[in-house]
Amino acid sequence: MIDEIEKHAPIGKSDHVGLLWTYTCNVDIATTKEQGAPRPNYNKANYDAMRNAFKDLDRVKDLSNLNSEEAWQKLKLKYKQVTDMYVL
């Protein structure tokens, strides 16, 4: 919800004015944290194992016959599988 709007002087010789407004957004942080999925801790990830897991993907062979959307979905799935295994 926008609470107030201020009109400021134009910059230089411009006929456009600057606007400043206050926006209020109410979010219940406790509820949001409870409902959301746990955030992965990338600081404790096993990056060596992740690199090795991605080496198994032969990008030329596995992705060359796919269109961009299919290739993206395949890469996204591989990323999710690897992060689920090696990111705490």
How far is residue 73's CA from residue 79's CA, in Å, rounded to a whole number?
A: 10
Sequence-ordered strand ranges (E) for 1-88: 2-8, 18-23
Q: Is the pLDDT of residue 84 over 60?
A: yes
Q: Model confidence over 22-71: pLDDT tens digits?
A: 888 877 766 655 566 677 899 999 999 999 999 988 888 888 899 999 99
**For position 67, what pLDDT does the model report?**
93
How far is residue 87's CA from residue 50's CA, in Å, rounded to a whole number?
A: 9
Q: Average pLDDT of 59-86? A: 92
Q: Average pLDDT of 69-79? A: 93
**For position 68, what pLDDT does the model report?**
93
